Chain A
Amino acid sequence: MIPAPFEYAAAESAGHALELLAEYGDDAKLLAGGHSLLPMMKLRLAVPSVLIDIGGVNELAYIRTDGDDLVIGATTRHADVAGSERVRSGAPLLAYSAAQVGDPQIRHRGTIGGSLAHADPAADLPMALTALGGSVELMSPSGTRTVPAGDFFTGYFETSLEPGELLSAVRVPRQPGADWGYQKFVRRANDWAIVGAAAVAGRVALANMGPTPIRARAVEQALADGAGPAEAAELAADGTEPGEDIHADRAFRQHLSRVLTRRALEHQRG
């Protein structure tokens, strides 16, 4: 399978990428690791006329501590997030989630910013960012705005990224020692979650239970009120309207969300 023809421009810096975005407008897509975009282009589900490659922009690949936050540059590869001692100690759920993306080859190429901007509700990192109460930094010629995960994911593969904006960094609160748990149910190794559940410090997020990753707020409230994991997890599907597909109907997804939430809460590691 071969993508439709396109023009290619390698950005030399984040600022250069923004200039190129302004120049090419809606016809352009940003390319980082390309492990979400290129498969879609090979299937001709995406047919951008210009690719702006930010994969070689070194200033966007970093892992830093900023006060109480961990800040990760958008083009940081999954393998680097998963292997980072700074991430493993400050936000172990994020390191673990990055290690669940695809397989080693995919983790050598795919980037944290690319995965979040792709906004697949079944993917690992959008769920992790939601559970962690993290945010993304969106850069434009007029400055940078910080958008919490809950406002960033707006629909099925849709985000609040505006035309001309670039997701430049990911920010999560550092919670060393906080309990966390992660579960995903798949039929095949390396697959996207049929349903996923992630818990950290009393917050619970679910993957593939709606058009975006969602918080299991009833579970969180029950935990805050002193309920145990099994009791709280029974509320995981409350208010959800998951889609149906060849893998699972709505009732099965709701069942999975309760089971996986219980397991995520019961098997928490700190």
Chain B
Amino acid sequence: MKVRLTVNGQDRSDDVEPRLLLVHYLRQHLGLRAANVGCDTTSCGACTVLLNGKSVKSCTVLTVQASGQEVTTAEGLAPEGDLHPVQRAFRAEHGLQCGFCTPGMVMAATGLLAENPHPTEEEVRAGLEGNFCRCTGYHNIVRAVLTAAGTMSTGATTSTESAQ
């Protein structure tokens, strides 16, 4: 079945099986492997991407459902070599341990800050309730999101620092 969608700003056109899950399309067809398959049951959030700017779990979206829409993965948050303020804050605050949940956390946090640019700590925790960190590194993750909210509201840009 024909699908046309925009992934990280690039138009994509493919012929896919209707049952192909979006996370498998991203990982296997496009080679975008930031979104992880964790629980595969809409619980853990490791596969979180943005669909038209809103966080969704790509293990529970069919690729055909995303046809005609815009998908953003962690690879598409900032230009090659740069980091998005949320990514930079996760690095600065050590908001990760093993790293498996990180792309999903970053995307959920990015979606959260788009809806609520100035969340309280409680709102960050509630906003990330769909993402599990089995290293239980939640304190630094929450700190990273609050830090990102601070830098984003002061107008810091993504192009002033480069990724190492």
Contacts and interface: CB of A to CB of B under 8 A. Distances in A.
Interface of A: 1-8, 10, 31, 34-35, 38-39, 41-42, 51, 53, 55-56, 79, 102-106, 108-109, 189-190
Given A1-B40, A105-B48, A8 B64 contact: yes
Interface in B95-128: 108, 111-112, 127
A190 B129 contact: yes
Given A3-B19, A55-B65, A109-B57, 12 more contacts: A5-B18, A8-B18, A10-B67, A34-B60, A39-B41, A42-B41, A103-B45, A103-B130, A106-B42, A108-B54, A109-B56, A109-B60
A109 B61 contact: yes
Nearest to B53: A108
Contacts of A53: 64-65
Contacts of A34: 60-62, 65
A41 B131 CA distance: 22
A247 to B, nearest CB: 16
Nearest to A99: B126
B14 interface: no
7 contacts: A10-B64, A10-B67, A103-B129, A104-B55, A104-B111, A105-B48, A109-B57
Most buried by B among A7, A38, A189: A38
B161 interface: no
A105 B55 contact: yes
A31 B61 CA distance: 11
Given A42-B40, A189-B129, A190-B43, A106 B19 contact: no
A171 B72 CA distance: 35
8 nearest A-B pairs in the assembled complex, by CB-CB distance:
A103-B130, A8-B18, A108-B54, A3-B19, A105-B130, A105-B57, A103-B129, A105-B55
Contacts of A31: 65
A105 B108 contact: yes
Contacts, number: 78
B21 interface: yes
A108 B108 CA distance: 12
Contact of B112 (A42, A104, A190): A104
B17 interface: yes
A39 B61 CA distance: 10
A104 to B, nearest CB: 5
Given A53-B65, A105-B130, A106-B130, A35 B18 contact: no
Contacts of B57: 105-106, 109
Contacts of B30: none
B31 to A, nearest CB: 19
B3 to A, nearest CB: 10
B17 A5 contact: yes
Interface in B14-34: 17-19, 21, 24
A98 B42 CA distance: 17
Contacts of A38: 60-62
B35 to A, nearest CB: 12
Interface string B149-162: 00000000000000
Nearest to A107: B130
B48 A8 contact: no
Contacts of A8: 1, 18, 62, 64
Contacts of B108: 104-105
Contacts of A109: 56-57, 60-61
Nearest to A41: B19
Contacts of A190: 43, 129-130
A8 to B, nearest CB: 4
A2 B19 contact: yes
Nearest to B55: A105
Contacts of A5: 17-19
A7 B1 CA distance: 9
